Amino acid sequence: MNLVQGRGPVWVVMGLVLLLTACNSDRPEPAEADVPSAGLRLRVTRVATHPFLSRYRLTLQVEGPHGCTDTAELFPDTGYAGRRNVYEQESGAITLLGQYDARVIDRTSCRIRLVEFQSLAGRSTFLGSFDVDAQKRWKFFPPSVKPERSFEKP
């Protein structure tokens, strides 16, 4: 019993350290992708909305070559559903596709529109994905680093 008595503060400190390392930071995590063919820069910023669960708010910002910009809130990541694939359509529009939402970005006006999945018929080129790495950091991955993964249908 005497061995445990002097170690109470040590256990408290160790417990606090473990608790704090398990917490999500509410610090914004931006990830950027340049799309030279469209002259656009895409930024998807992830912000934790729960201290322990994997819940994040996702915001898309688009910057165009002539100073145009637009911002849109994306469907939130409610538990490992944050990945967004980026495609270039035959029309030249850029598409950001998630598990539960699809956005089309007009390359000339930077306008972001929420669209139905069915409206995305036609050929497209995979440009990469916004996702987490092995250390759970939010990043953009080109196809040479992380190949295209399709989404599971709910």
Q: Is residue 110 part of a domain?
A: yes
Which residue in 78, 63, 121, 79 sits closest to 97, CA to CA?
121
- Note the pLDDT of residue 2: 52
Q: Is residue 50 part of a domain?
A: yes
**Average pLDDT of adjacent 10-residue blocks, the chain of 154 residues:** 54 44 74 95 95 91 94 91 93 92 94 88 92 95 95 68
Q: Is residue 84 part of a domain?
A: yes
Domain ranges, residue 93: 26-141
What token pair was written down for 62?
């688009």
- Note the pLDDT of residue 131: 96
Total domains present in the chain? 1
What pTM, to 2 d.p., does this model score? Answer: 0.81
Report how far residue 55's alpha carbon sits from residue 38's, in angstroms, rounded to the nearest whole number.
31
Q: Is residue 121 part of a domain?
A: yes
What token pair was written down for 37?
């063919």
CA angle 78-80-84, nearest 5°? 95
- Note the pLDDT of residue 51: 87
Which residue in 107, 123, 136 sits closest to 29, CA to CA?
136
**DSSP run (H or E) holding 72:** strand 69-73
Q: Is residue 14 part of a domain?
A: no
Q: Is residue 41 part of a domain?
A: yes
